[in-house]
Amino acid sequence: MAYTKRSDERKMNELRPTSAKVGIVPNADGSAMFCQGDTIAIAAVYGPKIFNPKHCQNPEKGVLRVHYNMLSFSVGERIRPGLSRRSQEISKVTEWALAPLVLLDELPGTVIDVHINILQANAGTRCAGINAAAMALAHAGVPMTEMISAVAIGKIDDKIVTDVNKEEEDYEDGEGATDIPMAYLSNSGKITLLQLDGKIQVKRFKEVLEAGKEACKKIFEIQKKALKEVE
């Protein structure tokens, strides 16, 4: 049976209800919460600070470290707390996504720690984490070239859909579902995250990139509004 209608009544190019708030962790240098549907991510930034021990310092530029964690109660069935292979992988790809927008060359000998915790998960957790982390970095006053926004675009049967939820991510009828998390820089339009879970024809890939770009523009406006509210 072909996929013709989204279970939550959204249009194919429509985001889930999305909100953002900055400054929610008082003892952090910067913090933010980003909610996409039932997915809730909190990011806290500590630094820039002197990297200790001293022999680990990079005398030419700062170091960005990202720690991504899904809390054990974030999904219906409790998950084992602590680091997993998945959390380590997402920590690293998030670090790679964020690094191009932080002016690390201006921060030699320092480290910036970004802690992302997923309070509630319904797909798109790495994207929500990136969106929260970017706002937290800005809130901390970390020198940045621009902002970054992330979203997961899916292909379900022959339909390109924006911001997939868990039900869509697990869709198995027809051709099945393809999940493509991506992140765009706000000014240059460069892509710093692009992953593929599933398969898609090359000729459809341009549609996916355009859908992601348009969705990220909307997310950026939400991030920008949240940051302006604390100025």
Q: Do 127 and 148 form a contact (C-beta atoms < 8 A)?
A: no
Asked whether the predicted pLDDT for residue 208 surpasses 90, the reply is yes
pLDDT band of residue 231 (cuts 50, 70, 90) is: low
Q: Lowest-pLDDT range, 67-81, 101-115, 147-161?
A: 67-81
Q: Do 14 and 85 form a contact (C-beta atoms < 8 A)?
A: no
Asked whether the predicted pLDDT for residue 54 surpasses 60, the reply is yes
Domains of the chain: 18-228 (3.30.230.70)
pLDDT band of residue 79 (cuts 50, 70, 90) is: low
Asked whether the predicted pLDDT for residue 1 surpasses 60, the reply is no
Residue 172, pLDDT score: 72
Q: pLDDT tens, 176-204?
A: 678 999 999 999 999 999 999 888 888 89
